[in-house]
């Protein structure tokens, strides 16, 4: 039975019983701390001996080399994915958006040409219009499936999908009415053209700009320097050099094979990372400068030529019924002049950007075609202003006896620009794939060499530790 004593309390009374010898003192057992504190204490004690210091150095070197490999894999994976997206997703979507615009503009141009020909409309003209509409519809479906979460692109695709059937309905109404010899057909055609120029083409332009912005964003991500990887790599090399210097000063041995192997592995990864990314960055820059920029200029020039041709056709369809803002000039003739100026400027820029003869040759043919087109258009316009509509019509769309028309010159320009676009597309794809190839194997190589380097560092330190046994 435990005996407790009651000490007199000051001023009388009885004090509280004191704890027996088995009661724990406040704060827990003496000398016992948290697990973290114990770990720190053991680390501090280990650091007071050379074997303990070597173990700490070995663990630190292995962790640093592994971190270098991990960060390199993370950064290069992101850049490889962005480069793959440039070739496999964003550039094709940008090209498809440009093709949607071109197909719509060509459909509008072809429909006006067919309208002028009336009952004599050749089957190939009708087939070209139907092919343009089918191509635009197919590309819209493809864009809707691949555009991802880009809300702006989705909004433009929805607008185009809604308005395109309305446009084709107006064209069919204009065509049917025109074949019946009713003048109302021209009004339907002008209304269809207005819908194309105010609804469909602006939406296609916004879609093209949105997809091109995403393409440039992927470019920037793929070309950005892996600064974190390079920084960690330099720190790893510095730590390995320090460890070998320390080893030399304490043992007077020049080389530690394990640390030397770890250093070599880190140097290989660092050089591979720097050189590979430099080459990839150069190739992607070439793809953008020599391919994508030229493609953008050529697509804009081709669209300007299509719109100029539509304006030329509608000048004859309207026959002065639609005036420009100055209330004196023919609206469609003013649009023709404006688009031809844009075409001239675009071809001049395309010639400047072309970096080889294969790229310059079709653009030069387009320049010559534009000169012929302008001369023939001037002759047709002069005949129209004199009241000779039939002569003007023959000079614009031609007949069995007249082949040297403004329409033939336009066809030369369009075909030449199509060849130039195809050439620049090949140049872009080649340069961009070279950029992807420069990063090939770097992710796997960096991971493997980092593991080898970390293991070599541990083995090198282990060799030193064996000398203390």
Nearest 5°: CA angle at 124, between 123 and 126? 65
Nearest to 414 by CA among 186, 113, 166: 113
pLDDT tens-digit map of 382-421: 888 888 888 888 888 876 455 688 888 988 999 999 999 9
> Percentage of the chain surpassing pLDDT 90?
28
pLDDT tens-digit map of 336-369: 889 999 999 999 999 998 888 888 999 999 999 9
pLDDT higher than 80, residue 40 = no
Owner of token pair 């369009």: 414
For residue 132, give the H/E element and its range: helix 123-146
Cβ atoms of 256 and 454 within 8 Å: the answer is: no
pLDDT tens-digit map of 289-323: 778 888 889 988 988 998 888 888 888 877 766 66
Average pLDDT over every residue of 198-210: 90
Residue 15 C-alpha from the chain's centroid: 84
Would you state the pLDDT for residue 368? 94
Q: Which tokens sit at 21?
A: 């010898």
d(CA 294, CA 288): 9
Would you state the pLDDT for residue 46? 58
pLDDT tens-digit map of 81-127: 888 888 888 888 888 888 999 899 889 888 888 888 776 777 888 89
* Residue of higher predicted confidence among 46 and 394: 394
pLDDT tens-digit map of 216-259: 888 888 888 889 999 999 999 999 999 888 887 877 666 778 88
Concatenate the DSSP letters of all residues of 297-334 into one string: HHHHHHHHHHHHHHHHHHHHHHTT-SB-TTSSSBHHHH
* Angle formed by the axes of helices 389-397 and 406-438, nearest 10°: 30
8: β partners: 14
Q: Which tokens sit at 151?
A: 């809300």
Cβ atoms of 366 and 416 within 8 Å: the answer is: yes
Would you state the pLDDT for residue 3? 41
Buried (b) or exposed (e) across 6-35, using 16+ Cβ within 10 A?
Answer: eeeeeeeeeeeeeeeeeeeeeeeeeeeeee
Ramachandran category for residue 181: left, alpha or beta (phi over 0 → left; psi -120 to 50 → alpha): left
pLDDT higher than 60, residue 28 = no
d(CA 385, CA 320): 10
Buried (b) or exposed (e) across 149-184, using 16+ Cβ within 10 A?
Answer: ebeebbebbebbbebbeebbebbebbbebbeeeeee
């Amino acid at each position: 039975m435990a005996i407790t004593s009651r000490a007199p309390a000051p001023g009388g009374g009885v004090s509280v019983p004191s704890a027996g010898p088995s009661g724990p003192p406040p704060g827990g057992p003496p000398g016992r701390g948290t697990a973290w504190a114990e770990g720190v204490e053991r680390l501090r004690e280990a650091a007071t001996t050379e074997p303990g210091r070597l173990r700490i150095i070995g663990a630190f070197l292995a962790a640093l080399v592994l971190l270098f490999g991990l960060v390199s894999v993370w950064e290069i994976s992101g850049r490889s994915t962005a480069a793959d997206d440039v070739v496999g997703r964003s550039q094709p979507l940008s090209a498809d958006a440009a093709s949607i615009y071109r197909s719509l503009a060509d459909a509008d141009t072809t429909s006006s040409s067919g309208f002028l020909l009336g009952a004599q409309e050749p089957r190939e003209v009708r087939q070209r219009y139907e092919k343009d509409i089918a191509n635009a519809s197919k590309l819209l479906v493809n864009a809707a499936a691949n555009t991802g979460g880009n809300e702006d692109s989705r909004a433009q695709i929805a607008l185009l999908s809604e308005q395109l059937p309305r446009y084709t309905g107006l064209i069919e109404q204009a065509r049917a009415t025109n074949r019946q010899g009713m003048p109302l057909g021209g009004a339907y055609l002008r209304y269809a053209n207005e819908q194309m120029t105010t609804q469909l083409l602006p939406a296609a332009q916004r879609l093209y700009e949105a997809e091109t912005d995403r393409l440039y964003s992927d470019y920037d991500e793929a070309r950005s320097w892996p600064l974190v990887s390079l920084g960690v790599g330099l720190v790893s090399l510095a730590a390995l050099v320090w460890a070998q210097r320390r080893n030399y000063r304490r043992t007077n041995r020049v080389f530690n094979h394990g640390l030397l192997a770890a250093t070599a592995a880190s140097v290989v990864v660092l050089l591979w990372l720097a050189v590979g990314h430099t080459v990839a960055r150069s190739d992607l820059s070439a793809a953008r400068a020599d391919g994508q920029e030229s493609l953008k200029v050529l697509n804009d020039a081709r669209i300007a030529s299509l719109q100029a041709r539509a304006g030329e056709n509608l000048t004859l369809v309207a026959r002065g019924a639609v005036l420009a803002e100055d209330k004196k000039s023919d609206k469609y003739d003013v649009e023709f002049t404006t688009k031809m100026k844009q075409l001239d400027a675009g071809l001049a820029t395309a010639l400047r950007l072309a970096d080889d003869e294969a790229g310059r040759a079709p653009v030069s043919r387009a320049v010559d075609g534009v000169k012929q087109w302008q001369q023939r258009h001037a002759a047709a316009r002069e005949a129209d202003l004199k009241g000779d509509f039939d002569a003007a019509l023959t000079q614009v769309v031609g007949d069995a006896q007249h082949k040297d028309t403004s329409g033939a010159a336009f066809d030369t320009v369009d075909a030449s620009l199509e060849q130039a676009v195809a050439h620049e597309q090949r140049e872009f794809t080649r340069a961009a794939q070279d950029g992807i190839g420069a990063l090939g194997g770097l992710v796997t190589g960096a991971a493997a060499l980092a593991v080898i380097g970390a293991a070599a560092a541990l083995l090198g330190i282990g060799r030193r530790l064996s000398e203390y046994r």
